[in-house]
Each structure stands twice: as structure tokens, then as C-alpha cells.
Amino acid sequence: MQEFAKVISTISLSMIITSYLIIELRNLKYSAYVYMIQAMLMCTLFAIFAIDNPGLYYWAATAFITKVVIIPWLLLRYIKKTTDREFQPLIGYLGSIFLISAVVVVLYRVTHTYIGFVAPSQFATAEPFRTNLAVSLSIFFMGLYCILIRRDAIKTVHGLLILENGVHLSLVTLAPALRETALIGIVTDVVIAVWILLYVIYGIYQKFGSTDTLQLRGLRW
């Protein structure tokens, strides 16, 4: 796996950059396309790791079907039904990029340095698994940031997808022997969750006239 270390690092870095773009692009359609690219990068990573662990080829195939094909299709379908302009976020470009960068740098450094805290075995503390875990956690928290800060409901779904990609990516290091059935169960749940969420968001759009979550103030206390 050492011979692919540079490729793995480049793809991992690209996953962080694509997460940035998914969060920061104001056009929801473009965010969905970038999500598709991120999913393809993840499939490529799985395929590279599969050279040593052929079981991961199934993971790459599963991720391709669900994350490169089905989820972007659902996203684009509902964006077409609603609007492709993200509702004005609470924090502007500069503030947001500064905040995410701070979170990512701190998280990446901490995870990379204190990898023993999350790595279950000696094997997981070595490269490229060390970088994989650090990237996974960074992406996970970028997704969480997106969910907490953005007010557009469809962008919140993008945040959820980034969050879930973070967990999915970590499986390479934390659970490489996970059976395909378990993985299929996980991704099926994600696809159904995205579908139902988008259906509800379409309802919000119909009843409230926009996908701004700050309008949802009817139920308090």
C-alpha cells in the first residue's frame, strides 16, 4: 500500500476540498455535482485499498451505485422541483471559509498526531490509514458545521451527506473486514433517509414558499 501513499494522500486532500466546495457553492445544483465527484473520489480510494483487501471492491461498487448515481439523481430531481439558489447563509464566504479551515486544521492535526486515541490497532496507526482517519474525522465535522450553520434545508441535506461520507471513509481503517450485507444496510438507510428528507423539504417549499429553515418557527417551547 506504501506505493500508493501519494495517490491516497492526494485523493484524501481532494475529498476535503470537495467538501469545502459542497458547503460553499451557492448553487445547489453545482453542490450536487461536486458531491458526485466526491463520491467518485471515495470509490477510487476504496478501489485502491481493495488491492490489499479485495472485499473492498464490493464497497466501491456499492458506493458508486448509491452515492454517484442514486443520491445525486435524487438531489438534482428535488432541486429542479424547488430552487437551485441556496438561501442566504448565516455566515458569509470569508467567515465561513475561515471557520471551516480552523476546524479542519485543528482536527486534522490533532487526529493525525494523536491517532492512537481513535485507532483500534497498531496497523491503523500506520500510513496511509493514519491519513485516512484524520481526513474522515475532518470531513465528518465539516458536515456537522454545514448542518449547524446553513439555513437552506437542501444544503442541510448536503451537510448530512458530507457527515455520512466521513463515517463511510473511516470504515476502510476501522472496519475493513465489514461484511457487504452490513454495508448495504448502511447505504440503503442513507439513500432512504435522503429521499424522505427531500420529500419533506419539498413539502416545506410548497407550504412556506422557500427552503429557508429559519421560517420553521411555528413550534416553540
Partner 1 sequence: MNNEILYLFLTPFIAGIFIFLVGRKSRVVGEALALLGTIVTFVIAFKIFIATTHGEVLTLYSSQLRMDALSGLIAGLVALLGLIASFYSVPYMRREVEVGAIQAERMGTYYGWFMIFLSTMLCATTVNNIILLWVIIEGTTLASIILVGFYWNKDAIEAAYKYAILLTVGITFALFGCVLLYSGASAQITGGGDPLKLTEIAKVAGKMPKSIVLLSVVMLLVGFGTKAGMVPFHTWLPDAHAEAPTPISAMLSGVMIKVGIYALIRTVLIFYPFYPIVSTLVLVFGMLTMVVGVIMMMMQDDLKRFLAFCSVTSIGYILMGLGLANYLGIYGAIFHLLNHSLMKALAFFSVGAVIYSTHHRRVSELGGLGKYMPITAVAFYVAAFALGGIPFFNGFVSEFTLFIAGVKAGFPWATVVAVAVAILNVAIFIHLTYQVFMGEAPENLKSAGIKEVPVMMWGGMLILAFLCLLIGVYPQIVSPILNEATKAVFATIAMP
| Spatial contact of 167 and 41, defined as CB atoms under 8 Å apart | no
**With binding defined as CB under 8 A, does residue 31 bind partner 1?**
no
Provide the mask over 191-210, with x wherever binding to partner 1 is found by CB under 8 A and - wherever it is not.
-xx--xx-xxx-xx--xx--
- For partner 1, the binding residue among 2, 3, 94, 177 (CB under 8 A) is 177
Query: Shortest approach of partner 1 to residue 10 CB, angstroms?
Result: 25
Between 54 and 218, CB nearer to partner 1: 218
| Spatial contact of 67 and 39, defined as CB atoms under 8 Å apart | yes
Query: Shortest approach of partner 1 to residue 121 CB, angstroms?
Result: 4
Rounded Cα gap, residues 171 and 167, in angstroms: 7
Between 2 and 217, CB nearer to partner 1: 217
| Spatial contact of 53 and 23, defined as CB atoms under 8 Å apart | no
Closest by CA position to 198, among listed 32, 85, 87, 78 = 78
Closest by CA position to 6, among listed 110, 131, 100 = 131
Q: What is the DSSP letter of 117?
A: G
Rounded Cα gap, residues 207 and 210, in angstroms: 8
- For partner 1, the binding residue among 17, 65, 118, 126 (CB under 8 A) is 118
Positions touching partner 1 (CB under 8 A) are 116-118, 120-121, 124, 140, 144, 147, 153, 156, 160, 163-164, 167, 170-171, 173-175, 177-179, 182, 185-186, 188-189, 192-193, 196-197, 199-201, 203-204, 207-208, 213, 216, 218-219, 221
